[in-house]
Each structure stands twice: as C-alpha cells, then as structure tokens.
Amino acid sequence: MNIAMGVSGGIAAYKAAELARLLMENGHTVEVVLTHAAQEFIRPLTFAALTGRKVITDLFATGGGDEVLSSAIEHIRVAQDNELLLVAPATADLLAKFAHGLANDFLSTLYLAFRGPVVLAPAMNSNMWQHDATRANLATLASRGHTIVEPGVGHLACGMVGAGRLAEPAQIAAVVQALAHPRRDLDGEVVLITAGPTQEPLDPVRFLSNRSSGKMGYALAEAARARGARVILVSGPVELARLVDVETVSVRTAREMRDAVMARVPEATIIIKAAAVADFHLELVPQQKIKKTPARFSLELSPTPDILAEVGAVRGDRLLIGFAAETQDLVREARRKLETKKCDMVVGNLVGGEGLGFESDENEVVLVTRRGDAIPVARASKRAIADRILDESLKLRLALHGVA
C-alpha cells in the first residue's frame, strides 16, 4: 500500500522513524511529510534515508525554475498517489487544524485533498490530551470515520505521568496492517448490538442509571462494521460520536430498549447485548418533581423487562452473546447467565475496579461459552477486545452449528 505519513511537531517525532521502518518492512511504500515544527525535533534526512524518497517539508517550493513548476501542485499529487494518510505523532495543533479544515501548511492541505482512510496517532502532555478543545476535535475526527490510535498511559517527556504517550510504533503499524488487509469475515451478517446504560425516570427531572459509557458496545459495532457486517446499534444515552455506516437507534429506558431490540431480532444473525440495562424502574412516574421532605422517603421499584431472556426465547439459531458486569464471582455469574438466558457466550466483565470496565478505554474479560470454555482475554483496548469477542463467536458458531 502507498502510505503518506505525516509527522507533526511533538517530542515523540523520533519514534516516527521506527514506525516508517516498520511500515517499509511490512511491504508498504512510505512518503513522509514533516511539519515545520516536526523539523525542530527530527531531520528530513533520517526519513529520506529510511524510505529512499524525498521528504516533503514545505507547502511552497523554495527553489526556482523546474522545481517550482514540478512541485506547484505537490499536495494534490501526494493525495492521489497514496491510499492511506497516517499522522504519527499527531499534535494537539494538528488535530485542531484537521478538525476545523485549516489548510495553512502542506500536511493540513494534503488532508483536505485526500479521500482515503486516515489514521491519527496523537501524542501530547496529559492536560493537552484531556482539554475540552482536544476532546471536541477528536470527536469530530472520529465522526468522520478516521481511526484514532489512542495514546498510552505512562511517563511523559514533560515529567507528568498520565495519558498522552504516543502508542508504540508496532501497535500503530498493526492498525495500518488491519486497514491494508481488512478481514471481511462478517460479510453478509447482520449484527444487532446494544450499548450504554438506560435511564429510568423517577420524576420529570430525576432518573436511575449506571456508569456504563457505551464504549464496549460502540467498539463492537465499529469492529463488526469493519469486518463487513451490517450493524444495527441500539444505544442508550451515551456521550460518544455517532458511528459512520452503523444504523443507530437511540433509546432511553429499558422498555424502549426492549421494544427496539425485539423489533430488530428477526433481521439479525448475531445479537450482542453489551448494554447495562437497569434492573429496576418506577412503574408510575409522578408528573411533577418529587418534593424534598424532612421525613424518610422510599420508592417502590419494579423489575424491568429481561431483554436477554426474551431474546433467548425467540433467538432460533442466531448467535446470542450476553455481557455480565460483576463486582465478584465473575466466571460463576457468567456461567449462570449463560444457562438461564440461553446464550452461546457471556462476556464476563469485572467492574468497579480502577482503570478497567465501564468508563475506561481498556478492558479485561473472560469469555464463558456454551461449550464449557472460560477463555481469559488479557487487558487490551476495547476495540481489540471487540475483535477477540467476534473471533471467538465465529469459532463457536462453527463448532456448534458448522457455520463459519
């Protein structure tokens, strides 16, 4: 694959040399574009020597005569010659430029002229990474379908410890590899996925809910779509960017989620219930806000519909995968759920600890299957866990029904 690789001006720019080498080793051709700031950190010569090609350092040619003519529309030529645009490291500044469509240097102009897949590997100080402006820019870029290779957590050059360290070059190269050779093993499948929490109203201004962020369900939807499936995502209220090419049905309560899911079951070939549905709700919600009183006050809650059990009763030969978010006895609870809800697999998910589970970008799970396995999946990004869940689901279906 022909890859245009942008390098912007962060301290991690030196790691881009290793990344360029890995991409070449994987058989890609790499054309490097350095921003002016990147050239403060690393010399063009390093990349020229590694890639055997001229490195682009300027939007406007500095020479005269032929060079001016031949490079006059270089950004369009680079956009047309390359099949993937990768930026590593991507600075906060670069994310802002891309998000807002600025075109005041070679790389940002190339971005606007480019029509293929875009992969961004940000790296910056943790405060810059967590700033609302950066979060908003990332959400915009993700909503355009770009792949964001999330930075890791660790010691940063600025002396802080936190999120913002460039992902390892090998990890970025693996993401590029997956895009270069996409697996299409879900072609023809219709995957119905639920995600996020539900909100059960208590009065016009209050509700019962939980800490689910929806990230696991959205990662599953993204992975299934990338592997060729048509994806229907029934989503509770979450703060995540809408996914491109995924039919999203937004719901609020457990009852709404039940209705949306049951309406779409007939179309589905694989059903994955990753939502954290409320177990209880208030049956008769007062029309007016409940007033504060000095006395004790109690609410009588009723159980919500058991969506997984209802789907289990009508699933036929569809593959059915549930989630069990537990704070203890993970495998035992997952196995109990597998049997009582007639699932093929239950993804056991330990929640309530630090850095894993609900709000985190990473997870560590155990896959309990109808064949009696309990497969531990080590800590990884939710996207990597999503691919592993899909891999094991397909293997299981092959083992159970002889269908790949």
Residue 323 tokens read as: 């989630």
Q: Determine if 151 is a binding residue for ligand FMN (CB under 6 A).
A: no
Q: Determine if 88 is a binding residue for ligand FMN (CB under 6 A).
A: no
| One residue of 16, 30, 31, 35 binding ligand FMN per CB under 6 A | 35
| One residue of 2, 18, 24, 37 binding ligand FMN per CB under 6 A | 37
Q: Are 31 and 2 in contact (CB under 8 A)?
A: yes
Q: Determine if 55 is a binding residue for ligand FMN (CB under 6 A).
A: no
Helical (H) or strand (E) element with 132: helix 132-143
Window of 69-77, 89-97, 284-292, 358-366 that interacts with ligand FMN by CB under 6 A: 89-97
The catalytic residue among 11, 24, 113, 158 is 158
Q: Which long-range contacts (CB under 8 A, 24 or more apart) does 97-103 make?
A: 98/137, 98/141, 99/136, 99/137, 99/138, 99/140, 99/141, 100/137
Residue 336 tokens read as: 């109990």
Minimum gap (Å) between residue 5 Cβ and ligand FMN: 14
Q: Are 129 and 160 in contact (CB under 8 A)?
A: no
Window of 90-98, 183-191, 263-271, 364-372 that interacts with ligand FMN by CB under 6 A: 90-98
Q: Are 201 and 286 in contact (CB under 8 A)?
A: no
Minimum gap (Å) between residue 50 Cβ and ligand FMN: 20
Minimum gap (Å) between residue 114 Cβ and ligand FMN: 17
Q: Determine if 134 is a binding residue for ligand FMN (CB under 6 A).
A: no
Size of the site for ligand FMN (CB under 6 A): 15
Q: Compare residues 152 and 201 and give the one whose CB is closer to ligand FMN.
A: 152
| One residue of 93, 189, 222, 364 binding ligand FMN per CB under 6 A | 93
Q: Determine if 6 is a binding residue for ligand FMN (CB under 6 A).
A: no
Q: Determine if 257 is a binding residue for ligand FMN (CB under 6 A).
A: no
Rounded CA separation 79/58 (Å): 15
Residues 6+ apart with CB under 8 A from 241: 139, 140, 142, 143
Find residue 362's DSSP bridge partners.
381
Q: Compare residues 20 and 94 and give the one whose CB is closer to ligand FMN.
A: 94
Residue position matching structure tokens 């497969």: 375
Rounded CA separation 362/385 (Å): 8
Binding flags for ligand FMN, 353-382, as an x/- string (CB under 6 A): ------------------------------
CA distances from 122 to 148, 249, 281, 340 (A): 8, 31, 42, 44
Q: Compare residues 59 and 308 and give the one whose CB is closer to ligand FMN.
A: 59
Length of the chain: 404
Minimum gap (Å) between residue 239 Cβ and ligand FMN: 23
Q: 3-state SS of the chain: helix, strand, coil percent to 5? A: 40, 25, 40
Which residues from 274-333 bind ligand FMN, rule CB under 6 A? none
Q: Determine if 102 is a binding residue for ligand FMN (CB under 6 A).
A: no
Residue position matching structure tokens 């022909």: 2
Q: Compare residues 156 and 221 and give the one whose CB is closer to ligand FMN.
A: 156
Minimum gap (Å) between residue 91 Cβ and ligand FMN: 3
Q: Compare residues 134 and 213 and give the one whose CB is closer to ligand FMN.
A: 134
Q: Compare residues 6 and 312 and give the one whose CB is closer to ligand FMN.
A: 6
Q: Determine if 59 is a binding residue for ligand FMN (CB under 6 A).
A: no
| One residue of 3, 84, 121, 123 binding ligand FMN per CB under 6 A | 123
Residue 236 tokens read as: 């509770």
Find residue 163's DSSP bridge partners.
153
Rounded CA separation 78/52 (Å): 16
Q: Where are the beta strands (DSSP E) in 206-278?
A: 207-208, 230-235, 247-250, 270-273
Q: Determine if 94 is a binding residue for ligand FMN (CB under 6 A).
A: yes
| Residue 158 appears among annotated catalytic residues | yes
Window of 52-60, 92-100, 239-247, 340-348 that interacts with ligand FMN by CB under 6 A: 92-100
- What does the radius of gyration of the chain's CA atoms come to, in whole angstroms? 24
Residues with catalytic roles: 158
Positions in the binding site for ligand FMN (CB under 6 A): 8-12, 35, 37-38, 91-94, 123-124, 128
